[in-house]
Amino acid sequence: MSESSVGELPARRPSRQLATHQENLSVDSSCFSSPPVNFLQELPSYRSATRRRTTVLARDKQSSILLKPSDSYSSQREGEITENLNTQSIRKYALNISEKRRLRDIQETQMQYLSEWDQWKRYSSKSWKRFLEKAHEMTDHLELWRKDIRSIEGKFGTGIRSYFSFLRFLVLLNSVIFLIIFTLVLLPVLLTKYKVTNSTFVLIPFNDIDMECTVYPVSSSGLIYFYSYAIDLLSGTGFLEGTSLFYGHYTIDGVKFQNFTYDLPLAYLISTIAYLALSLLWIVKRSVEGFKINLIRSEEHFQSYCNKIFAGWDFCITSHSTASLRHSSLRYELRADLEEERIRQKIAERTSEETIRIYSLRLVLNGLVLAVLSVCFYAIYVATTFSQEHMKKEIDKMVFGENLVISYLPSIVITLANFITPIIFSKIIRYEDYSPGFEVRLTILRCVFMRLATICVLVFTLGSKITSCGDDACELCGYNQKLYPCWETQVGQEMYKLMVFDFIIIMAVTLFVDFPRKLLVTYCSSSKLIQCWGQQEFAIPDNVLGIVYGQTICWIGAFFSPLLPAVATLKFIIIFYVKKLSLLYTCRPSPRQFRASNSNFFFLLVLLIGLCLAVIPLTISMSRIPSSKACGPFTNFNTTWDVIPKMVSTFPSSLQSLVRAITSEAFAVPFFMIICLIMFYFIALAGAHKRVVDQLREQLSLEGRDKRYLIQKLTEAQRDMRSQPL
Amino acid sequence: MGQCLRYQMHWEDLEEYQALTFLTRNEILCIHDTFLKLCPVGKCYKEATLTMEQISSLPALRVNPFRDRICKVFSHNDVFSFEDVLGMASVFSEQACPSLKIEYAFRIYDFNENGFIDEEDLQKIVLRLLDNDDVSEDLMMDLIHHVLRESDLDNDNMLSFSEFEHAMAKSPDFMTSFRIHFWGC
């Protein structure tokens, strides 16, 4: 069935053979399904494709030279060089360096025949490109943790490397968010406080609101216990409460500089909107790459065989152990894919009664999953309520540590739920009879939803407590001012506690579980139980969920606690080093390796889900819950969002009417309809393109068959001609 | 493993190599140092050559299952000059364009060098990837059948260059995995 292996096939490697090879018509009689390769190499299509990729240098140096970069598809007349060639494209030629040098010399002599204007254009574009390259090279040096990530890639492959580059991305994102908040909110306050510039605070003008709403009792106990500082640091109360860490510190209406007054409430709101928009744009920009590839592929599922065979080996692996691991993981993956194919075929052949049974079973099991989720959410609700009610007890009436446990109770319950539910989910999904790949993805999706929804439940519980005052509906101030005189600060404190606890748990798990496990496995190798348990595997999905959880907390909390992104940046930096140490010293790579492309898309998708889930409580608290009247920059406004209408009312009247028109229904409904029409147009266009692609593919395979048939006839005719007596 | 004459690279040469390859200044200098360490005594780096075994034993390549093919594709007359090593590093560098990588990937995977990746080549690729000889016939046939079904558009049981190019353009992992960091500094 294979084609002829003729003694010496004409090796058509044009870049190194200088001579064009003569046709070798040695013919093999045993090929019926595929023609001899040498025949195919004579076809004009093959020759022009090869010429397109590399240069064919004629033996005779004086004759014309055909030159093309490997990606230029413009048609070429022999002996001409297009005007579009410049130095940049020399690199793209598949030639060795001496041939490229010759090519460049030829180009430069050819340049002399161009007009002055073209020469200058070419020269300036070259120097601009060179400048860009040098700038790029210099910024590459500044890339954070470049060497660390490279060494991880060499030892563990690209899947785990993508986790660490994701962590680096989050560090950068958080530092930029902090920069935004710093310049818009903190900087004017700090400049005035430390008398750097000659500016003063503009205090909030006295308004006729009920005096009761503005009472903000500063909690001060007579005796300061020695451990109260530690407790305050961990739970954000006490001495931390009035600092610039929390919202309550910014009880200022503005900052008066020499020429203008800086409107602080507006700046605060705009910084929130800015950091949310920036996060969204940056994540979408990063995920566009992976998404484009997703859109190109038509019907193959994500892990195609071509991808695994041709791009399956990570060429950057340098250590023997990683290489053997890669071999075994490839073996595992390819076998698993074929297995999945077989299962999919089996699923397609299911009878209808089997299908009904499976679907009803799945319905029951999904109901079970929902039940588990609601139990967890209810537990969090109860824990938060309990914690909020008992946190206000006086410090000297409590046993040491009880205060800490009560204030951390929601965090503890959330962490416990996040440990238990993945185990339950992975047990449940075994009965649902999905293909293995889909099982993994669905479990991960459920865990993601579980983890991120717990934060939302916590925030909503807090919100409901803030807006409920016993039986009546909080008419006095709009919120429960007895328990929450400055509710934004208290929400900020909860977010701060969540973040600190998350950090403590990650460190504790690494120090007290991973390292001892490794020590046990190394030194107690006699015990079979311990050997079965084995070393830790670096589980990518769990680790990614952990840091996305931290980032979601940061997004929600940054409004209530402006310094929280800085805390998050520090936390992620420390986690990077801790995880790197843990990876290098305690982990063995798992046989199931995550692919880089799959990972990048998955990480950014989860992060996007986190962002969407973070926006919901923020918008509700900004627009529904009245801002606290005792602290913060929004005491004069009903809700936080009211700053915007007030700002709009200061615009000139034409602009005002424009803004009003854009936000009215008369504009929104037609706009929405036009967007829908445009979307339908593009969907129809994509469908039409797909049909054309399918037709062309079919045509291509028919042409290929014709070609083989004709070549077969030709070889038979030649054979007959040869065998005829002369 | 002797030391070449400590021939410092001229600035013009460095600029020229930067213009002709995708490598950065640091990468070129690091490769220069590595080359000097390996090349024989008494020769200047521009004339010295390295054997394929020496290149195959570089840390970047020594565990690569395709290292013999890489050496074959990038060497001239079975030896490596300094510029050959630079050319190889340029193709495998991070900044290289996809079309160049696809071109050389095709040459590397074409074991019998007939201009097509046929079933024989695919068999060899799979054996190299799985690194054991007891791959069952069924598994092999299945894999080859799936690869050809996905990428062989004209149904001739071989992959021509354009079919390979088309498949690699759709492959999300190709650019990230077809990279080698030669410089160890």
pLDDT band, residue A392 (cuts 50/70/90):
low
pLDDT value of position A554: 94
In chain A, residues with a C-beta closer than 8 Å to the C-beta of B143 are 305, 309, 334, 338
**How close, in Å, is residue A487 to chain B by CA atoms?**
48
pLDDT band, residue A17 (cuts 50/70/90):
very low
pLDDT band, residue A638 (cuts 50/70/90):
confident
pLDDT value of position A393: 60
Q: Is residue A60 part of a domain?
A: no
pLDDT band, residue A597 (cuts 50/70/90):
low
Tokens of A620: 């509700």
pLDDT band, residue A18 (cuts 50/70/90):
very low
Task: Please name the residue that has the structure tokens 């074409």.
Answer: B110
Q: Is residue A329 part of a domain?
A: yes
Q: Can you tell me the mean pLDDT for A567-586? A: 91
Residue A440 at interface with chain B, using a CB cutoff of 8 Å: no
Q: Quote the CA–CA distance of A210 and A484 in Å, as a whole number.
A: 16
Q: Quote the CA–CA distance of B22 and B98 in Å, as a whole number.
A: 12
Q: Is residue A489 part of a domain?
A: no
Q: Can you tell me the mean pLDDT for A172-182? A: 94
pLDDT band, residue A685 (cuts 50/70/90):
very high
Q: Can you tell me the mean pLDDT for B162-185? A: 82
Map A225-280 to HEC letters.
Answer: CCCHHHHHHHHCCHHHCCCCCCHHHCCCCEEECCCCEEEHHHHHHHHHHHHHHHHH
Residue with more model confidence, A411 or A92 = A411
B177 and A150 within 8 Å at the Cβ level: the answer is no
B100 and A330 within 8 Å at the Cβ level: the answer is no
Residue A140 at interface with chain B, using a CB cutoff of 8 Å: yes
Q: Is residue A79 part of a domain?
A: no
Has residue A204 got a pLDDT over 80?
A: no
Nearest C-alpha in A relative to B168: A307
Nearest C-alpha in A relative to B97: A92
Range from A383-397, A535-549, B155-169 carrying the lowest mean pLDDT: A383-397
Q: Can you tell me the mean pLDDT for A185-195? A: 85
Measure Cα distances from A271 to A200, A230, A612, B151 in Å. 22, 31, 18, 50
Count: domains in chain A: 2
Q: Quote the CA–CA distance of B180 and B74 in Å, as a whole number.
A: 14
Q: Which residue from A91, A597, A705 is facing B173, i.e. has the nearest CB?
A: A597
Nearest residue to A306 (alpha-carbon basis) of B5, B112, B153? B153
Range from A140-154, A231-245, A390-404, B151-165 carrying the lowest mean pLDDT: A390-404
Contact assessment for residue A538 and residue A587, using Cβ atoms and an 8 Å cutoff: yes
- The residues pairing with A588 across neighbouring beta strands, listed in sequence order, are A537
Q: A110-169 pLDDT, tens per residue?
A: 777 777 888 888 888 888 888 887 888 777 777 888 888 888 877 777 778 888 989 999
pLDDT value of position A595: 64
**Domain boundaries of chain B, sorted by first residue:** 11-177
Domain encompassing residue A697: 664-717
Q: B53-95 pLDDT, tens per residue?
A: 888 888 888 889 999 999 999 988 888 888 889 899 999 988 8
ipTM: 0.91
pLDDT value of position A1: 38
Task: Please give the interface size between A and B, counted as residue pairs whose CB atoms are below 8 Å apart.
Answer: 208
Residue with more model confidence, A255 or A12 = A255
The per-residue pLDDT of chain A, averaged, comes to: 79
Has residue A273 got a pLDDT over 90?
A: yes
Q: A304-330 pLDDT, tens per residue?
A: 788 888 988 888 888 888 888 888 888
pLDDT value of position A79: 36
Has residue B28 got a pLDDT over 80?
A: yes
**How close, in Å, is residue A401 to chain B by CA atoms?**
51
Q: Is residue A309 part of a domain?
A: yes
Q: Is residue A76 part of a domain?
A: no
A34 and B156 within 8 Å at the Cβ level: the answer is yes
Has residue A704 got a pLDDT over 70?
A: yes
Most confidently predicted of A10-14, A120-124, A407-411, B115-119? B115-119
Share of chain A above pLDDT 90, in %: 19
Homologous superfamily (CATH) for B11-177: EF-hand (1.10.238.10)
pLDDT value of position A224: 64
In chain A, residues with a C-beta closer than 8 Å to the C-beta of B153 are 697, 700-701, 704
pLDDT band, residue A253 (cuts 50/70/90):
confident
Contact assessment for residue A106 and residue A65, using Cβ atoms and an 8 Å cutoff: yes
pLDDT value of position A275: 94
- Residue A5: strand, helix, or coil: coil
Residue A324 at interface with chain B, using a CB cutoff of 8 Å: yes
Q: Is residue A284 part of a domain?
A: no
Has residue A231 got a pLDDT over 90?
A: no
pLDDT value of position A395: 52
Q: Is residue A177 part of a domain?
A: no
Task: Please name the residue that has the structure tokens 């440990």.
Answer: A419
pTM, whole model, 2 decimals? 0.79
